[in-house]
């Protein structure tokens, strides 16, 4: 029976109701905090953006940020919201000073939505504005007004304080990873030299801007000193390393545009053109950019982003200093980088040598690509190896973020996941046996080795990460010695040839239960020995305990919950102090004696902890 479509079918949602029903439109995916792009970090960013905009306009040199368990607070020392408009600014759509370009010329939060989304998606939200010895305090819960106090006397200096606790009803059992928060805050100080951010009591500060950013984030020294170029409304830092791929950090008005956009495309094009002209040779663009590590920041009036989360700049004709973004960046790079290379001949020579080496390796790889493509066609990727999903990167940004591929080993494991998965968003790639240890090998091996060649084709990364087919790459292996070994081999492969997949937070390990404990009334799944002991204690001695030795032993009906509503993903993360080459050398190299001593020593520690 078809529902009656009448005037009663039409309704208007209140601002907070719309945000809570469609949070993805405002903050991207919800998540539980294990990924850097999860919504709980976007909430913090939305509040921070307003404080940063105050600093960029010349008001307040310090911002205080505190994260305690699930509650956060941000206190800036800017002008403070006008006391009579505090409630409207955080609860009324299309309200805010960002619409007045004279007050906020080059800000991030232009649509006046961000802090309202924080309000609607928080179980508690408090905002205080301080101006000229008076303050206004407004308290909300899930967008509903609870308290409002106007024009109270205060000894606080001018500024604004926002404190909030994300709603557990929406975000579930979430947690903040301090390292992710600190990375976000460090980017703010790199982009705003002179700004001090006090994070949980310790100060973050940068004197050299994007140069400091590269030095802090590079896992090894560059081939030549960082080239640091700074002009009005633009700043660039770059060098080359020995890693595969291209590594970029791009920003617009202080916003970390993780997906790049117009400005990053313009920089990549202008870099190639400038170096071709400088060396007077038409080098391939990929040879020039391979192994580059660069940061690009521009400031424009009224930027256009492709989504509310502002991860990609869509502006094509915004005019900093009277020219299009493309021409503006091209003119700057052409003039300043060309001048730098003429004045620093040693850097120019090192860079040329790197380009020539990349050209040589590319030609060697091309010689094996044709054979690899024939083998891949013969192997029939989509029938033998890959069970694809229905949505890909031609869908909306929000849906693309949901796409996941599980990398499994063995027919039983891949069979269980294939039957249990969500065919719309989850794909399965099946490995055949243990992968090769790729440590110390060149990229030719990606094409010469059938398994890695097919995996690269499945992920669609032959020509770079821009065309990555899945947002989440999940290693799903058994929790035994062989499964752990396969995990290490796959992580080695990604770190060796596609390190940005790890740095960008795309790689995960699937956590599945080791035990099932049940009686006639209840079934409990346990991920470690401690959980199993607690489950047995809860259900009694007559409880039936099953130890899952492999993924294939979990039925598809059971597996469904572990890769859907109850999925546990452990992100593969690199800390700033981790040097990829050193890590791989120690764990996957030929230093078997040192590694053996490390394992034995740590086993002893584990035994002592267990006995204690």
Average pLDDT of the chain to the nearest whole number: 82
- Name, of 399-403, 428-432, 579-583, the range with top average pLDDT: 428-432
Tokens of 290: 């391979």
The dihedral through the CA atoms of 67, 68, 71, 75 has a sign that is: negative
How much is the pLDDT for 485? 86
Q: What is the pLDDT of residues 19-47, one digit of tens each?
A: 888 887 788 788 888 878 888 998 999 99
pLDDT at 10 over 50: no
Q: Which residues contact 373 (CB under 8 A, 6 or more apart)?
A: none
Residue 373 lies in a domain: no
Q: Got the DSSP string for 54-118?
A: HHHTT--SEEEEEEETTEEEEEE-SS---GGGHHHHHHSTT-SGGG-TTTSSS-S--SS-HHHHH
Residues 525 and 530: their CA atoms lie apart, in Å, by 12
Rounded mean pLDDT, 483-494: 89
HSE-CB at 471 with a 13 A cutoff on CA atoms is 22
Asked whether residue 444 falls in the same domain as residue 329, the answer is no
Residues 334 and 558: their CA atoms lie apart, in Å, by 59
Asked whether residue 170 falls in the same domain as residue 65, the answer is yes
Q: What is the pLDDT of residues 364-413, one digit of tens each?
A: 888 787 776 666 565 565 556 888 888 765 555 556 667 899 999 877 77
Strand partners, 305: 313
Residue 414 lies in a domain: yes
Tokens of 39: 């919504």
Q: Which residues contact 241 (CB under 8 A, 6 or more apart)?
A: 218, 220, 221, 222, 223, 247, 291, 293
Asked whether residue 335 falls in the same domain as residue 238, the answer is yes
Q: Tell me the pTM.
A: 0.73
Q: What is the pLDDT of residues 87-114, one digit of tens each?
A: 888 887 644 444 344 433 444 444 456 8
Indicate the pLDDT class of residue 237, thresholds 50, 70 and 90: very high
Percent of the chain with pLDDT over 90: 38
How much is the pLDDT for 545? 92
Indicate the pLDDT class of residue 12, thresholds 50, 70 and 90: very low
Q: Is residue 493 within 8 Å of 481, Cβ to Cβ?
A: no
Rounded mean pLDDT, 598-609: 45
Q: Is residue 271 within 8 Å of 295, Cβ to Cβ?
A: no
Asked whether residue 179 falls in the same domain as residue 224, the answer is no
Task: For residue 407, give the H/E element and its range.
Answer: strand 404-409
Asked whether residue 397 falls in the same domain as residue 353, the answer is no
Which CATH number is 223's domain given?
A: 3.30.230.10
325-343 vs 345-379: helix crossing angle, rounded to 10: 120
Rounded mean pLDDT, 304-311: 57
Strand partners, 508: 474, 571
Percent of the chain with pLDDT over 70: 80
Residue 470 lies in a domain: yes
Asked whether residue 223 falls in the same domain as residue 270, the answer is yes
How much is the pLDDT for 5? 41
Write out the residue range of the structural domain in which residue 591 sits: 582-612
Asked whether residue 542 falls in the same domain as residue 564, the answer is no
């Amino acid at each position: 029976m078809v529902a009656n479509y009448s005037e009663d079918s039409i309704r208007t949602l209140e601002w907070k109701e719309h945000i809570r029903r469609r949070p993805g439109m405002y903050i991207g995916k919800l998540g539980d905090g294990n990924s850097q792009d999860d919504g709980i970090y976007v909430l913090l960013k939305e509040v921070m953006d307003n404080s940063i905009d105050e600093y960029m306009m010349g008001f307040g040199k310090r911002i205080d940020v505190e994260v305690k368990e699930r509650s956060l607070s941000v206190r800036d020392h800017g002008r403070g919201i006008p006391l009579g408009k505090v409630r409207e600014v955080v609860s009324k759509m299309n309200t805010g000073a960002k619409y007045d370009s004279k007050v906020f010329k080059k800000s991030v939060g232009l649509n006046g939505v961000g802090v309202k989304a924080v309000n609607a998606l928080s179980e508690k939200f408090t905002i205080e504005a301080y101006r000229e010895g008076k303050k206004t305090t407004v308290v909300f819960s899930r967008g509903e007004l609870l308290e409002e106090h106007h024009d109270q006397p205060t000894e606080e200096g001018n500024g604004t304080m926002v404190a909030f606790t994300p709603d557990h009803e929406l975000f579930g059992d979430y947690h903040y990873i301090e390292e992710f928060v600190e990375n976000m805050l460090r980017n703010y100080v790199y982009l705003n030299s002179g700004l001090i951010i006090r994070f949980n009591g310790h100060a973050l500060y940068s004197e050299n801007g994007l140069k400091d950013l590269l030095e802090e984030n590079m896992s090894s020294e560059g081939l030549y000193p960082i080239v640091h170029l700074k002009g009005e409304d633009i700043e660039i830092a770059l060098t080359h390393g020995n890693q595969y791929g291209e590594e970029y950090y791009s920003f617009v008005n202080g916003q970390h545009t993780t997906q790049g956009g117009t400005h990053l495309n313009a920089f990549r094009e202008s870099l190639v053109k400038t170096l071709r002209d400088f060396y007077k040779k038409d080098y391939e663009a990929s040879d020039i950019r391979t192994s580059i590590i660069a940061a690009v920041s521009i400031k424009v009036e009224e930027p256009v982003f492709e989504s509310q989360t502002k991860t990609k700049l869509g502006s094509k004709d915004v005019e900093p200093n009277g020219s299009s973004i493309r021409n503006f960046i091209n003119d700057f790079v052409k003039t300043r980088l060309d001048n730098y290379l003429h004045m620093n001949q040693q850097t120019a020579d090192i860079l040329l040598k790197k380009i020539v080496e990349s050209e040589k390796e590319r030609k060697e790889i091309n010689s094996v690509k044709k054979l690899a493509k024939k083998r891949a066609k013969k192997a029939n990727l989509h029938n033998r190896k890959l069970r694809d999903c229905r949505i890909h990167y031609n869908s909306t940004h929000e849906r693309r973020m949901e796409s996941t591929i599980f990398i499994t080993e063995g027919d039983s494991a891949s069979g269980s996941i294939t039957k249990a998965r969500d065919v719309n968003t989850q794909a399965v790639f099946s490995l055949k046996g243990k992968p090769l240890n790729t440590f110390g090998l060149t990229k030719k091996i990606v094409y010469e080795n059938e398994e890695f060649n097919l995996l690269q084709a499945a992920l669609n990364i032959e020509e770079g990460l821009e065309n990555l087919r899945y947002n989440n790459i999940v290693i799903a292996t058994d929790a035994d010695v062989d499964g752990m070994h396969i995990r290490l081999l796959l992580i080695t492969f990604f770190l060796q040839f596609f390190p940005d997949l790890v740095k960008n937070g795309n790689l995960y390990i699937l956590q599945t239960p080791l035990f099932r404990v049940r009686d006639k009334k209840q079934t409990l799944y346990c991920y470690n020995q401690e959980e199993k002991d607690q489950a047995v204690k809860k259900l009694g001695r007559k409880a039936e305990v099953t130890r899952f030795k492999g993924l294939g032993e979990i039925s598809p009906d059971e597996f469904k919950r572990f890769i859907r509503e109850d999925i546990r993903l452990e992100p593969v993360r690199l800390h700033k102090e981790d040097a990829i080459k050193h890590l791989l050398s120690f764990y996957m190299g030929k230093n078997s004696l040192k590694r053996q001593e490390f394992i034995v020593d740590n086993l002893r520690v584990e035994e002592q902890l267990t006995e204690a």
